[in-house]
Amino acid sequence: MNKYPLAGARSAPDGTTTFRLWAPFRKEVALVLPDQTLPMKAVAEGYWELTVTDIYPGARYLYLLDGALQRPDPASRWQPEGVHGPSAIPDETFVFTDQHWKGLAATELIIYEIHTGTFSAPGTFSGIREKLDYLKELGITAIELMPVAQFPGERNWGYDGVYPFAVQNSYGTPDDLKMLVNAAHALGIAVILDVVYNHQGPEGNYFYDYGPYFTGRYKTPWGDAINFDEPWCDGVRGFYLQNALMWLEEFHIDGLRLDAVHAFSDNSAIHFTQELSVAVKELEARTGMRKLLIGEIDLNNPRFIDPVEAGGYGLDAQWADEFHHALHSRLTGEQQGYYEDFGSIEHLRHAFENAYVYTGEYSVHRKRRFGRKPVNNPFHQFVVFAQNHDQIGNRMMGERLSVLLSFEALKLAAATVLLSPFIPLLFMGEEYGEKNPFLFFTSHGDADLIKAVREGRQQEFAHTGEAPDPQDTHTFAQSKLSWQTAEGHHAALLRYYKELLLLRKNTPALLNTAREATRVHHTNSEDLLVLERSKDAAALLIVFNAGITSHELSYTTYGKLRLLFDSAALAFNGPGTNTAVADDQPLMISPLSAVVYEIIAYEN
């Protein structure tokens, strides 16, 4: 038996299907089919197995535990009747046509985050597929899908999923997801999937009936932690490792975004994150396909992205939330909650220097010193953004920056992300200034859970007003993209994003993610952020003005300047540029603008 056997139902072309289940504490397990109940055989380390003939994709099944409980398969690949219904044998005959595709390096990523249910009118994988040409034209190189594991009902962010191997039935079938991946690869677009290995949702969570998937030793904000280091944890670690490998190999997914890695409580000699990264590198070597692991990590600890051979856990990249916080707080003026640690241009300078803002300094919000400098990590190991699902949707009214900022400030925010040396991530709709909110929504069926979620949401925002009801279908409907891209500021902003992305792709200095290739100039201005970015003899001067008045900047580095880009240009519905270059004269930088100059005859 393999170290971590693959659980679930796996069918063969000859009509046989092998069922494998991990249930170490059960004395009897039987497979329940529509017309018969068959006992399963206990094998090593808590697994049960049975091979059945003359059963085909689509057939429903359940497990009978100790003759008393009928439950769906924890490793179900398909739950056509939802979280409480029977599992179904998946059809595994889909044929990919992406043999040319080898994946993308982290340095090539321009990520576009999508919630499947609100991205298109139908709210399905097919709805995303129909927009791939649009995303290609925009300049996107990777889409990132918020979690698609089966959750209760039809409306959810996806972080309440309870069947990690099953594709959400309201989004489409497993084949629909494969068709999306296949179509994306045909256009040169990678697909990243958000997965949740730090907890499971409450409704439909029958894992407790099978074995010790969870531990009470640690707590997370969402309930019991996953059992990565307590007795019987091997079966649990194997379950999630096999889940990751399934998405990456069977669905041809190019990378995984790991939700809240800081909540992986694991005191094992080999941390689960490290074991996962090693397994994925082995998959890469075996298939010749590049696979990426990107963590959401609220620790400012580069150990998670350091190589395994250097004592790290081996993730390829991580989300850099503090870059967002520094940018958001400086442009909006908000300083409540975790934003109290931010607000000055100096915080944004630190973010450009280290990706992390706090690298050992005292954090007022955390009431302690926090973080460590990632001195050995290139900048393509950090994903940055001005907006994402968390930072929008965790606001009471789900406001996007298009509602919170002026048009010029909105363009400045975009430029700050896209001209950075980090991996940029856009949240669906931001490229044309979507005005519809992205709210928190659910469609639970459990009355007590519905009540608890509603009350929790109201308590969270009791000091600011009445939060929208997550269960109300209108809350979900409000969050759908409007796709108003053709007129006024919407059209201008879309042109602006396309121009910025084209500039990023075609300019060597903007593609260089080496730490030494980005220099941050510390000025006395609370409004100006000045960068020099270089690649060999090519170099750029980039100036961001976060103030509401124009600023002069005396440029003293060797070389003459040629204007390449100005966010205030009339072509982008701006007030017009006043950034002409004159010998021996200071540069004049427009309010709330981003300007890019080529440095001629640059000397390093």
Q: Is residue 417 part of a domain?
A: yes
Domain end call among 446, 469, 504? 504
pLDDT over 80 at 328, yes or no: yes
Q: Based on the domain organization, do 55 and 178 belong to the same domain? A: no
Q: Based on the domain organization, do 422 and 317 belong to the same domain? A: yes
Q: Which position among 229, 259, 434, 598 bears the catalytic label?
A: 259
Residue 458 contacts residue 430 (beta carbons within 8 Å): no
Residue 503 contacts residue 540 (beta carbons within 8 Å): no
pLDDT over 80 at 556, yes or no: no
Q: Based on the domain organization, do 67 and 145 belong to the same domain? A: no
pLDDT over 60 at 485, yes or no: yes
Place of tokens 């003459």: 560
Give the integer Cα–Cα distance in Å for 227 and 287: 30
pLDDT tens per residue across span 28-47:
999 999 999 999 999 999 99
The mean pLDDT of the chain is 95
Neighbour tally for 67: CB within 10 Å: 10
pLDDT tens per residue across span 224-238:
899 999 999 999 999
Q: What is the pLDDT of residue 191?
A: 98
Q: Which whole number is the average pLDDT over 145-164? A: 97
Q: Which whole number is the average pLDDT over 349-358? A: 97
Confidence of residue 522 (pLDDT cuts 50, 70, 90): confident
pLDDT over 60 at 603, yes or no: no
Q: What is the CATH number of the domain that holds 37?
A: 2.60.40.10
pLDDT over 50 at 403, yes or no: yes
Q: What is the CATH number of the domain that holds 590?
A: 2.60.40.1180
Q: Based on the domain organization, do 45 and 168 belong to the same domain? A: no
> CA 364 → CA 298, 340, 343, 359, 460, distances in Å?
16, 7, 13, 14, 21
How large is the C-alpha radius of gyration of the chain? 25
Q: Based on the domain organization, do 535 and 459 belong to the same domain? A: no
Give the integer Cα–Cα distance in Å for 215 and 203: 18
Residue 496 contacts residue 567 (beta carbons within 8 Å): yes
Q: Phi/psi of residue 204, each to 5°?
A: 85, 5
pLDDT over 50 at 394, yes or no: yes
Q: Which whole number is the average pLDDT over 540-549? A: 97
Q: What is the pLDDT of residue 2?
A: 53
Q: Is residue 93 part of a domain?
A: no
Q: Based on the domain organization, do 488 and 557 belong to the same domain? A: no
Those residues with Cβ within 8 angstroms of residue 11's Cβ, 6 or more apart along the chain or in another chain: 17, 55, 56, 57, 89, 90, 92
Q: Phi/psi of residue 513, each to 5°?
A: -105, 10
pLDDT tens per residue across span 285-318:
999 999 999 999 999 999 999 999 999 999 999 9
pLDDT over 90 at 3, yes or no: no
pLDDT over 80 at 62, yes or no: yes
Q: Which two tokens stand for residue 102?
A: 């080898």
pLDDT tens per residue across span 368-393:
999 999 999 999 999 999 999 999 99
Those residues with Cβ within 8 angstroms of residue 439's Cβ, 6 or more apart along the chain or in another chain: 393, 397, 398, 468, 470, 475, 476, 478, 479
- Residue 325: closest CA among 377, 384, 412: 384
DSSP SS3 for 427: strand
- Residue 265: closest CA among 320, 223, 300, 293: 223
Q: Based on the domain organization, do 280 and 405 belong to the same domain? A: yes
Q: Phi/psi of residue 519, each to 5°?
A: -110, 130
> CA 209 → CA 25, 151, 222, 594, distances in Å?
9, 18, 19, 56
pLDDT over 60 at 604, yes or no: no
Q: Is residue 358 part of a domain?
A: no
Domain end call among 475, 504, 533? 504
Q: Is residue 275 part of a domain?
A: yes
Q: Which whole number is the average pLDDT over 462-476? A: 91
Q: Based on the domain organization, do 493 and 532 belong to the same domain? A: no
- What's the N-to-C CA distance of the chain in angstroms? 58
Give the integer Cα–Cα distance in Å for 12 and 92: 8
Query: DSSP assignment, residue 249?
Result: I
Confidence of residue 339 (pLDDT cuts 50, 70, 90): very high
Give me the domain span that covers residue 576.
Answer: 516-600
Q: Is residue 296 annotated as a catalytic residue, yes or no?
A: yes
Domain end call among 473, 504, 535? 504
Residue 424 contacts residue 414 (beta carbons within 8 Å): no
Give the integer Cα–Cα distance in Å for 320 and 305: 12
Q: What's the chain's length in residues?
A: 604
Q: Based on the domain organization, do 551 and 460 belong to the same domain? A: no
Q: Based on the domain organization, do 462 and 320 belong to the same domain? A: yes
Q: Phi/psi of residue 438, each to 5°?
A: -120, 100
Point out the annotated binding site for substrate: 257-262, 321-325, 389-394
Q: What is the pLDDT of residue 602?
A: 55
Q: Based on the domain organization, do 310 and 248 belong to the same domain? A: yes
State the pairing for strand pair 423-427/382-384: parallel
Q: Which position among 266, 296, 341, 408 bears the catalytic label?
A: 296
Q: What is the pLDDT of residue 1?
A: 39
Q: Based on the domain organization, do 531 and 570 belong to the same domain? A: yes
The more confidently predicted of residues 185 and 44 is: 185
CA angle at residue 512 from 506 to 514, to 5 degrees? 175
Q: Is residue 386 part of a domain?
A: yes
> CA 164 → CA 7, 190, 399, 551, distances in Å?
12, 21, 30, 52
Confidence of residue 106 (pLDDT cuts 50, 70, 90): very high
Q: Is the four-CA dihedral 511, 515, 519, 521 of positive or negative sign? A: positive
Domain count, the chain: 3
Give the integer Cα–Cα distance in Å for 416 and 126: 33
Q: What is the CATH number of the domain that holds 473?
A: 3.20.20.80
Q: Is residue 446 annotated as a catalytic residue, yes or no?
A: no
